Structure 1
Amino acid sequence: MVLEGKIAVITGAGPGLGRTLARLMADEGAKVAVAARTPATLEAIAAETGALAVPTDVTDPEAVQALAATVHERFGRIDVLVNAAFPGTYRKNVLDMDAAYLSKWREVVDIAAYGTLLACRYLAPYMVAQGSGSIVNITSMSSRSGYAGRSDYAAGKAAVHLLSHCLADELGPHGVRVNCVAPGWIASAVLDDWMAARAAAEGTTFEEIHARDTAAMALRRIATEEDIARAVLHFASDASATTTGAVLDVNGGQHFA
């Protein structure tokens, strides 16, 4: 078990990727703490994986500081931090942004970039004190390829890429590594619904849209949550002991950086 004896914290732990990460890390021997804004979701993950559930708003400095203290008090150390908060996107063209939307745009960037910074700020000192640790930030293919209507999500995730490079340089001398995993599309009901909507708009079938989309990927398949989680596991484990400041793209060859 590649995480035997390690303590892992997952922020933004939702019912999708966050749940899969918690299960996989627990299966690989880690003791896991999950943090997000929705207590019910966290309790469900905790019941399934044995994780410690800590309701947390990642954009609230006091809440994140309390998360760090709670985990360290319970387990005595922190070895892995995975920042997986998914801010979503509200899909608006810049010419259509009103005052209400601009506030939402800022909220998305705050969750992605500021939330990641806060988690690193308050959990990394425990890693520095013990002389080792791994931080894995979940970014996105969208941080490297801009699309109309997704400037909020793209800007937030792109900020995390460069933030990670800065933190890798700052924390490296203390034995702490910082890397990114950048998913493309992830197989899910949400993705299927989007493909179905496109099919309806074009007067074609879901199967045709799916075939067309996957044909544009070198591996001809869409990544699963498990695929993404295993990439995170690589950076979390000692298998990547001399890797820091890296971005691992997991998109089936949909986009080459």
Structure 2
Amino acid sequence: MMLDGKIAVITGAGPGLGRTLAVLMAREGADVVVAARSAETLAAIAGQVEAEGRRALAVPTDISDPAQAARLAETAAGRFGRVDVLVNAAFPGSHRRDVLDMDDAHLERWRRAVETAAFGTLLACRHIAPHMVAAGMGSIVNITSMSSRGGYAGRSDYAAGKAAVHLLSHCLADELGPSGVRVNCVAPGWIASDVLDDWMRARAEAENTTFEAIRARDTAAMALRRIATEEDVARAVIWLASDQAAATTGATIDVNAGQYFT
């Protein structure tokens, strides 16, 4: 029970990694507040947390909106009296578009993506961290990416947004450390999912080969010869959130099965 009795807030709690985080944190003893834009998705995740025997609160939130971010913090602290852990995982999907091919609509999606990742993370920390500072303790874990330190064509929105969160985390670690609040990152690489499988199938068709050949080639470039799972990522988050990481701040844990070393 690494998080026994803790109150955790997860932003960007969607049906993938966010759901896995919420359920595993509940199994480790945390009561969980989930925030995202979809009320229906949040209600389902809250139900899974409660099925684990923990308390849950669903707060529909656009985390890039200052008023909604403030309301999330007030609602969470008002319900549970405090917040011990904040996990920032919000990020809209990337659109895979080269910069010179972007029209006005693509440029607006780029702005929105970076705003959700960077400004949204900033707002969540700005409004929730004061509750941790008042308590003299707390842990913030920001989900960045392997792409935060190495961009490639068509993904500038994703890379820029995650890179901003990466360095914001360093700044916050320095600012909040004297108050006993730790700030760290978990940087996933590829995560096993239907979306990743669909991308591999599309590449296989483009290269006139098989899905199995593409998957074998990709995993051969990973030291562990496998693709990380949502649970692999969630376990790293849970460790950083727990008291076992009491002397760790300003750090990044890479969870990419050895696809990229730092």
For the aligned pair, the TM-score class normalised by the smaller chain equals over 0.9
Are residue 100 (structure 1) and residue 92 (structure 2) matched? no
Residue aligning to 1:235:
240
Distance in 2, Cα, partners of 1:9 & 1:59: 16
TM-score for both structures, normalised by structure 1:
0.99
Report 1:90-169 matches (<5 A). Answer: 90-169=95-174
Structure 2: stretches of 5+ with no match in the other structure: 51-55
Report SS of the residue matched to 2:199: helix
> Which stretch of structure 1 is more off in the superposition, 92-101 or 103-112?
92-101
Offset of 1:90 from its aligned partner? 1.2
Deviation at 1:87, TM superposition (A): 2.0
Q: What is the match of residue 179 of structure 2?
A: 174
Matched residues in 1 for 2:166 and 2:48: separation? 31
Task: Find the aligned partners of 2:63 and 2:176 in 1 and give their Cα distance.
Answer: 21
Query: Residue 91 of structure 1: CA displacement?
Result: 1.2
Q: Which residue of 1 aligns with 2:53?
A: none
- 1:39-118 → structure 2 map (5 Å cutoff): 39-50=39-50, 51-118=56-123
The match for 1:254 is 259
C-alpha separation in 2, matches of 1:88 and 1:123: 25
User: C-alpha deviations, 1:183-235, integer Å up to 9, x for none?
Assistant: 00000000000001111111111100000000000110000000000000010
Shift of the alpha carbon at 1:47? 1.1
Name which of 237, 244, 250 aligns with 2:249.
244
Indicate yes or no: 2:30 matched with 1:30. yes
Q: CA RMSD in A?
A: 0.6
Flag as ranges the 4+ runs of structure 1 deviating above 6 A: none
Structure 1 regions of 5+ residues with no counterpart? none
- Counterpart mapping for 1:182-201 below 5 A: 182-201=187-206
Q: Following the alignment from structure 2 to structure 1, what is the Cα–Cα distance between the partners of residues 125 and 152?
A: 28
User: Shift of residue 17 of structure 1?
Assistant: 0.5
Q: 1:213 aligns with which of 212, 215, 218?
A: 218
Amino acid at match of 2:59: V
Question: What is the number of equivalent residue pairs in this alignment?
Answer: 257
Cα displacement string for residues 127-172 of structure 1 (whole angstroms, at most 9, x for unaligned residues): 0000000000000001111110000110000000100000000000
Give me the whole-angstrom Cα distance separating, in 1, the residues matched to 2:257 and 2:22. 23
Report the Cα offset of residue 115 of structure 1: 0.4
Q: Distance in 1 between matches of 2:185 and 2:259?
A: 18
* TM-score, length of structure 2 as denominator length: 0.97
Taking the aligned partners of 2:90 and 2:12, their CA distance within structure 1 comes to: 4
Deviation, 1:11, is 0.2
